[in-house]
Amino acid sequence: MSLIGPLDEYPIHQTPLPMARVASSDKNFYDRSYFNASDRDGGTFLVTGFGVYPNLGVTDAFATVRRGDEQRAVRFSDALGDRSTDLQVGGYRLEIIEPLQKIRAICEHEDLSFDMTWEGAFPIVQEQPHTIITGLNRPIIDAQRFAQVGSWAGTLNVDGTDFTLDPAVWTGTRDRSWGIRPVGDSDPAGRVADEPSEGFWWLYVPLRFDDYSIIVIVQEEPNGFRTLNDATRIFHDGRIEQLGWPRVHLTYKPGTRIPTAVRLDLTTPDGKPLEVEVEAGTFVALNVGSGYGGDPDWQHGQWKGRNWSESVLYNLTDPAIAARIPFGVVDHVGKARCGTDEGWGLFEHGTMGRHDPTGFANWGSVAP
């Protein structure tokens, strides 16, 4: 059996392996694109993504749209064939029109369809490597990412309702990541079942302003020790500023772990303070139909058979659905202010289990 495929015609190899194989034999190796799109404060929020999992032999995609109290989710999955520049699974495909700048996303399903084109507003930002090591000295996340803010043009149809995406209104963010993270069916519980994690705390805030983009990523252990600290501002000409050590001040809806706002105290390279405030708007729960951690319905990279697709409409007021939201990462549309500048973007936050700086003592703790 030959493993040589179309990508092997290009001088892009990083190892003495054909492109069908990746350097790691870890089953959790993945390669994924993520996008979101919103009409800012109009109440419609789309999250979508496409991924391949070479060591599982799977490729898949999803699209989720939140309107009111409902999330419509469609998912596609199939066997991974030759790795090539054809980024397609089922009725879903991505077309790279201009690398790192312009991408067309197409979804064809009777319940949720779109044909929309992404245009980067600023150059991409390479984020710091993302690594989480378990008590077993094994990485559960070891990934490289880059991010970008931009706008969308095209059409969207959700359950028979048409939307025209005007790039002057429809904004969003995207990221590309690859490496190792939990995908497919869960690993055997083993020692992890007896010695589970005490908690997970994550904040990701990519924002678009007229003259610059700000991207902040913070990850902390249950005791507050920071394991990922990345804060940058990028301008149209590609100039990048590092914005120091963000001080994070979150406000939560009482009795929940759902954030309503965050204030970020940043520092410019010349030592001056830079304050960014972000209000949380419409949200998509990533563990409700999108396949991210804790989603009981479907996981990225899970083998569902050949040419599989599914469509589900979730009612977020259903007690069974509402109960799972606090145990996953939540993506909010973010309305931002930095001095007199107004911006929009993503306000992504996940806090599960213990987090001492916030005062969450255990998995059942909520904000007062």
Measured over the CA atoms of residue 255, residue 259, residue 265 and residue 269, the dihedral's sign is: positive
Strands 70-79 and 130-133: unpaired
* pLDDT band at 139; cut points 50, 70, 90: confident
Q: What would the pLDDT profile of 12-24 be if each residue is shown by its tens digit? A: 999 999 999 999 9
Mean pLDDT of 112-136: 92
Instruction: State the pLDDT at residue 132.
Output: 86
**DSSP 8-state symbol, 131:** E
**Which run of H or E residues covers position 324?**
helix 319-324
Instruction: State the pLDDT at residue 160.
Output: 96
* Distance of alpha carbon 305 from alpha carbon 109, whole angstroms: 19
* pLDDT band at 34; cut points 50, 70, 90: very high
Q: What would the pLDDT profile of 66-93 be if each residue is shown by its tens digit? A: 999 999 999 999 999 988 889 999 999 9
CATH of 28-187+197-358, one of 3.40.50.261, 3.30.70.360, 2.40.370.10, 2.60.40.1930: 2.40.370.10
Specify the higher pLDDT residue, 259 or 132.
259
Q: What would the pLDDT profile of 183-222 be if each residue is shown by its tens digit? A: 998 877 777 666 677 889 999 999 999 999 999 999 999 9
Phi-psi region of 254 (alpha: psi -120 to 50; beta: other; left: phi over 0): beta
What share of the chain has pLDDT > 90, as a percent? 88
Instruction: State the pLDDT at residue 190.
Output: 72
Q: Is the pLDDT of residue 136 over 80?
A: no
Q: What would the pLDDT profile of 251-265 be if each residue is shown by its tens digit? A: 999 999 999 999 999
Mean pLDDT, rounded, of the chain = 94
Instruction: State the pLDDT at residue 189.
Output: 72
Instruction: State the pLDDT at residue 237.
Output: 93
Where do runs of H (alpha helix) occur along 151-235?
190-194
Q: How far is CA 220 from CA 265, 288, 350, in A?
A: 17, 24, 11
Mean pLDDT of 344-368: 96
Give domain limits for the chain: 28-187+197-358
Where do runs of H (alpha helix) occur along 17-170?
none
